[in-house]
Amino acid sequence: MSLWPAGAATGIGSLPGTDPAEALKLVLGELPDLPFLPELPARGVGADIIGRGAALLTELPVEVYAGRWKLTARPGRDLRRARELWERDLDALHEQASEYDGALKLQVAGPWTLAAALELPLGGRALRDHGAAREIAESLADGVRRHVADVTARLPRARLLLQVDEPSLPAVLAGRIATDSGLHTYRSVDTSTARAALADVVAAAGVPVIVHCCAPSVPLALLREAGAAAVAIDLALGPDLDALGETLDAGVALVAGAADPRQPAPTSAQVADRVREVWRKLGFPAAQAATQVAVAPSCGLAGAGQAAARALLAACRDAGRRLLDDAAA
């Protein structure tokens, strides 16, 4: 069974605004085949990708110190706020989509992106202590399991997908995460360790997982071996076509970031052509793209205006339909 309907489009995660109900109305209206639970960073502390991910950790409380999320001894106001924002989102989701019976995507920060961002109690990123990084991955796996169960209880008819966001993973593997001084970098994490931690989170989800990475040098083989059912990448960053071809040939689906919100608004024809161009270079049949690819913006839309975000999602939706027309031709 396909992860999503043929010709589907979706979003990466973030949207402008502060009202979760309004954001959900936008998503459900513009992306009927693969809507997602929007993230609204404009709400402030606890609504950012790291705060939301950290709020799912079990028995690893966090707080904000000097503008950064930090592991701490006991839960406090910042963690409480982040969890309250999650509850508001899930309440809005239940109100807007309780009878929804299609595919629906959730998003959480991945274990290595959290380890590269969260500060240790005594300073420095959790990444410097591989034991701490392992604890974060284990805690996140438990939190993800509970989160998916919570959403399932609220939307019993939906087919959930979980997107694990790992924008920092290539830098973690290459040893390019800078220390606070900026004079040094943290030691690299070997591939097997990174794969094992990510695989634990993927397995814990209990639903198909999309691993998203919007950085250059996406480790596609690692994502595939960790159990990803799909990968989400920015096509403009020039992915390794050999690695991408191997990944798709193995049956892994693709969320194709083909509409850049930082560029002038593209038409649906332009977005579809970007997907077709990569697909043509890979040498796969054109008809296959509609079933194996979901079209998406190349990154989140928190920095876009409401009208621009709506237009970009609509362009992705119509681009997906163009790919479906290709398959029928």
Domain count across the chain: 1
Domain at 249, CATH number: 3.20.20.210
pTM: 0.96
**Domain membership flag for residue 4:** no
**Domain membership flag for residue 213:** yes
**Domain membership flag for residue 170:** yes
**Domain membership flag for residue 8:** no
**Domain membership flag for residue 9:** no
Q: Which residue has the tokens 């939301």?
A: 52
**Domain membership flag for residue 306:** yes
Q: 134 exposed, middle or buried (CB, 10 Å; 0-12, 13-18, 19+)? A: middle
Between CA 10 and CA 226 the distance in angstroms is 23
Beta-bridged to residue 107, according to DSSP, are: 163
**Domain membership flag for residue 206:** yes
**Domain membership flag for residue 12:** no
Q: Which residue has the tokens 């839309």?
A: 301
Strands 62-65 and 68-71, how do they pair?
Answer: antiparallel
Q: For the chain, 329 residues long, give each residue's pLDDT as a single digit of tens.
A: 689 999 999 999 999 999 999 999 999 999 999 999 999 999 999 999 999 999 999 999 999 998 999 999 999 999 999 999 999 999 999 999 999 999 999 999 999 999 999 999 999 999 999 899 999 999 999 999 999 999 999 999 999 999 999 999 999 999 999 998 888 999 999 999 999 999 999 999 999 999 999 999 999 999 999 999 999 999 999 899 999 999 999 999 999 999 999 888 899 999 999 999 999 999 999 889 999 999 999 999 999 999 999 999 999 999 999 999 988 87
- Which residue range forms the structural domain that includes residue 229? 20-328
Beta-bridged to residue 185, according to DSSP, are: 178
